[in-house]
């Protein structure tokens, strides 16, 4: 077992955290009061009992809270504040690099406003970084700086009522096929990301596809990912969370994905549905081997998966993270939604390291995989330096706290 104080103290990265799922509950309540947004309760305890629960019965219950967080994130001031607080809370947990993702089109009505939303979130993250990086420990070289970037999300699917932007698009193009509508929206999301990055200097480094996976294939968003590719945006895709290995395959082949969000059903050959696949087990094994060989990072969000995927039965031993590590994959443990899942990165790392019986060397590889897989907002040589500084800081922390870890396998022993 890796000591909890060691997990807290080492530098960490969080590559998969959603702005609208990672607010402070007190801030949701305060903003709702200010904006006249109706909540089931205006007390922290009440809202946690009714909405942001410790245990959820199903995925719709898990997702119910987003209607309230998105409702209070309609102003740029609220976005800036939420981003600042997310980064401040992450830094307090020992996170030194965070990539915050969100879908501006869920929050604002126009493409121009999407650019302003990305800038507002960037302003909040930058404010938190400035505060951390002015601390004596950082200035004296006893700690490493806090760095950040943004991932702009598009939605696999949308319906009327999901946001003013989507309602306007449906009204503007009433005769367009739905798959073409979602393609149009995701292409505009890429344009907003590029404008925010290139004209306003916001480090929007990546593009993502989120939302309902089954029935809404990544292929509907080929144009957006081709545009992202042309503009050198880094690419990740939510895939294999609610669909099988073929969704992950499509993310890699059709969307040029460099990372995969979740990937929980990567090894589930029983979910392969393609008629042209004769040997489903061989197909999934080849896909897994390709992911490992090409160093395609898997953004694993354990608690979120346990809360939303019934097949896991709420037991980390049923999660494939151990098998991913055994394959030698680049696995980056992440939080997904700190508010909705009542979690933080230390809890997620403890969950995985305990279940997989990681020794200190295995734990270090797990921690550094996040830094190495980052869509870092700088030159490659700067990223290499940052990764090296994180590794050196890890060793300094170990030397200070002590090498408190059981003799694990260094890989994974959890069932998968």
* CATH number of the domain encompassing residue 303: 3.20.20.140
Residue identified by tokens 């706290």 is 401
Number of domains composing the chain? 1
Model pTM greater than 0.85? yes
Is 65 a member of any domain?
Answer: no
Mean pLDDT over residues 70-83, rounded?
Answer: 99
Give the list of residues 6+ apart from residue 387 with CB closer than 8 angstroms, or none.
Answer: 368, 371, 372
User: Above 60 in pLDDT, residue 331?
Assistant: yes
CA 180 to chain centre: 26
In a domain, 149, yes or no: yes
pLDDT at 405 over 50: no
- Mean pLDDT, all residues of the chain: 95
Tell me the pLDDT tens digit for each residue of 297-316: 999 999 999 999 999 999 99
Greatest Cα-to-Cα distance within the chain, rounded to the nearest angstrom: 65
Quick check: is 35 in a domain? no
Does a structural domain hold residue 51? no
Helices (H) then strands (E): counts for the chain: 18, 8
Instruction: Identify whether 36 is part of a domain.
Output: no
Buried b (16+ CB within 10 A) or exposed e, 120-131: bbbbbbbebbee
pLDDT at 404: 52
Q: Rounded to an integer, what distance in angstroms lies between the CA atom of residue 205 and that of residue 193?
A: 8
Give the start-end residues of each E strand in 199-290. Answer: 204-210, 234-239, 259-262
Tell me which residue range forms the domain holding 138.
4-23+73-401
Task: Determine the Cα–Cα distance for residues 4 and 82; give it in Å rounded to an integer.
Answer: 27
Q: Would you say residue 86 lies in a domain?
A: yes
Percent of the chain residues past pLDDT 90, beyond the cut: 92
**Under 8 Å between Cβ of 416 and 319:** yes
- Is 39 a member of any domain? no
193 burial type by CB count under 10 A (0-12 exposed, 13-18 middle, 19+ buried): buried
pLDDT > 90? residue 351: yes
Domain assignment of residue 33, yes or no? no
Per the CB < 8 A criterion, the answer to whether 248 and 282 are in contact is no
Tally of CA atoms within 13 A in the half-sphere of 75 that contains its CB: 11
């Amino acid at each position: 077992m890796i000591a909890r104080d060691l997990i807290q103290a080492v530098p960490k990265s969080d590559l998969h955290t959603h702005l609208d799922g990672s607010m402070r509950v007190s801030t949701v309540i305060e903003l709702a009061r200010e904006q006249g947004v109706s909540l089931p309760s205006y007390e922290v305890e009440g809202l946690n009992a009714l909405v942001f629960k410790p245990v959820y019965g199903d995925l719709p219950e898990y997702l119910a809270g987003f209607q309230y967080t998105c409702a209070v994130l309609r102003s740029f001031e609220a976005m800036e504040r939420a981003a600042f607080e997310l980064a401040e809370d992450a830094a307090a947990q020992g996170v030194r690099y965070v990539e915050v993702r969100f879908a501006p089109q869920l929050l604002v009505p126009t493409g121009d406003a999407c650019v302003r939303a990305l800038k507002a979130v960037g302003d909040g993250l930058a404010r938190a970084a400035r505060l951390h990086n002015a601390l004596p420990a950082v200035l004296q070289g006893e700690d490493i700086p806090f760095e950040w970037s943004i991932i702009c999300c598009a939605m696999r699917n949308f319906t009327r009522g999901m946001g003013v932007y989507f309602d306007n698009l449906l009204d503007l193009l009433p005769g367009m096929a739905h798959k073409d509508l979602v393609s149009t929206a995701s292409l505009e999301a890429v344009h907003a990301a590029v404008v925010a990055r290139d004209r306003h200097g916001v480090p929007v480094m990546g593009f993502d596809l989120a939302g309902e996976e089954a029935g809404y294939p990544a292929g509907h968003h080929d144009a957006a990912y081709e545009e992202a590719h042309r503009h050198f945006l880094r690419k990740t895709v939510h895939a294999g969370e609610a669909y099988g290995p073929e969704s992950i395959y499509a993310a890699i082949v059709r969307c040029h994905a460099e990372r995969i969000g979740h990937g929980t059903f990567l090894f589930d050959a029983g979910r392969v549905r393609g008629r042209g696949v004769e040997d489903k087990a061989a197909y999934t094994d080849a896909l897994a081997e390709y992911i490992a060989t090409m160093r395609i990072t898997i953004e694993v969000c354990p608690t979120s998966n346990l809360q939303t995927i019934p097949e896991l039965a709420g037991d980390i031993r049923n999660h494939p993270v151990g098998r991913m590590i055994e394959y030698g994959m680049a696995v980056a443990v992440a939080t997904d939604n700190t508010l909705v899942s009542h979690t933080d990165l230390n809890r997620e790392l403890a969950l995985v390291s305990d279940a997989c019986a990681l020794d200190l060397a295995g734990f270090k590889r797990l921690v550094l995989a996040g830094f190495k897989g980052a869509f870092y907002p700088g030159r490659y040589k700067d990223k290499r330096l940052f990764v090296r500084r994180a590794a050196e800081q890890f060793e300094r922390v170990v030397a200070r706290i002590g090498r408190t870890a059981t003799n694990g396998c260094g890989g994974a022993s959890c069932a998968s």
